[in-house]
Structure 1
Amino acid sequence: MPDRNNPFEEIERLFDQLSRNFESSGMSKLKDISVDLEERGDEFVVTADLPGYETDDIDLAVRDRQLTIRAEHSDTSETSDDAFLRRERTQRSVSRTVHFPEPVEEEASDASYRHGVLTVRLPKQDRRDDDEGHRIDIE
């Protein structure tokens, strides 16, 4: 029975229902990737937190001044006894795109993954290789 002295009771009930619906939809399992972007002299270094993933779960692509990180993991567990069977399936998927202020050498980039932390090193493109051309001195 609603408490007539609490004007916010109906709002609280709706928030509780919304929260339950959100959790049951699986959307609460979606998480963003925490990323640090550093400029270190002639390269960019991207560090991303991806705990719980294996190296094979992670996909990296670099193109047009941007790095896209995707990770996906699926797991199935099953327990049973004489009267009870339980099977659980989980799937996690995250994605993040990082934009660079300068072009990078796509083929010279490398990555490592240790203890849930992904590190990607992307050398800056030599400015002489830019599509903007080069300067011609006038004599």
Structure 2
Amino acid sequence: MSRGSPFDELERLLDKMNDARERAGGGLAVDVRDDDEQFVVVTDLPGFEKDDIDVEVRDRTLRIDARHDEEFGVDESDYVRQERSKRSLSRSVSLPEDVDDDGAAASFENGVLTVELPKLHTSEESTSVDIE
């Protein structure tokens, strides 16, 4: 039975710690699905608008930031009770394989963000190199 490198185990532990921290702090919960040719990441962002969300892919890491813009001109003395808060959420997800950053696509519908990340395939075939 083959074991991965110590760095693979360290990455898994860091992911578990990040997941636990996000759950404890009410952060973003994500589903990451492997569809052979791409990873599909889905997260619920109820109450946010498309313009409130930033998605970035870099070095096998997907980062999602969602934040409400501050409302200007609202007189807080008009409120009898105010329990909803302006909040920001963020999450970084390490991906198990390299992805094509330029081919990434995201959609947002009914409070659900879906990010599609095509896998970056390296050729298994050898290439002949001419010697000059």
TM over 0.5: yes
Q: Secondary structure at the residue paired with 2:102?
A: coil
Give the 5 Å matches for 1:1-139. 31-76=26-71, 77-78=74-75, 85-86=77-78, 90-128=85-123, 135=126
Distance 2:126 2:63 in 1: 33
Cα drift, residue 69 of structure 1: 0.2
TM-score, normalising length: structure 2: 0.66
Runs (5+) with no aligned partner, structure 2? 1-24
Amino acid in structure 2 at the alignment position of 1:86: D
Greater relative CO (CA pairs within 8 A, separation 6+): 2
Q: Which amino acid aligns with 2:103?
A: A
RMSD: 2.4
- SS across alignment from 1:56: helix
Provide the secondary structure at the position in 1 that maps to 2:68: strand
3-state SS in 1 of match to 2:51: helix
Q: Take 2:27 and 2:85, find their aligned partners in 1: how far apart are those partners?
A: 17
Consecutive unaligned residues in structure 1, runs of 5 or more: 1-29, 80-84
- Per-residue Cα deviation, 1:74-110 (whole angstroms, up to 9, x for no partner): 354547xxxxx33568321000011111100000010
Structure (1/2) with the larger strand percentage:
1
User: What is the TM-score normalised by the length of structure 1?
Assistant: 0.63
**Matched residues in 2 for 1:134 and 1:66: separation?**
27
